[in-house]
Amino acid sequence: MIRRFAYRIIAPLYRFHLGVIDVIELGPLDSLCVYSTTAEPDPLALIIAGGTLGALDVIQQLAEATVEE
């Protein structure tokens, strides 16, 4: 099973942006979380990447809390 969250940033600074977070089930209690982003101009992707780590940490906490219940 795969769950996908996709979003766009619409701001004058960006010509284009698309961010995607995929959570892929590997087994009954195991999953893989993949984050990808595309931005124009390219350097703006680096700015977005700075906030990505926090989002991935929260996804991990939610997933692990669900397993413990």
CA distance 50 to 63: 22
pTM of the full structure = 0.74
Q: What is the mean pLDDT of residues 33-60?
A: 87
**In this predicted structure, what is the pLDDT of residue 28?**
85
Does the pLDDT at position 68 exceed 70?
Answer: no
Mean pLDDT, the chain, rounded, equals 87
Domain ranges within the chain, ordered by starting residue: 2-68
CA distance 9 to 1: 27
Does the pLDDT at position 16 exceed 90?
Answer: yes
- Sheet architecture: strand order including 16-27: 2-7, 16-27, 30-40
Q: Tell me the pLDDT band of 57, cut-offs 50, 70 and 90.
A: confident
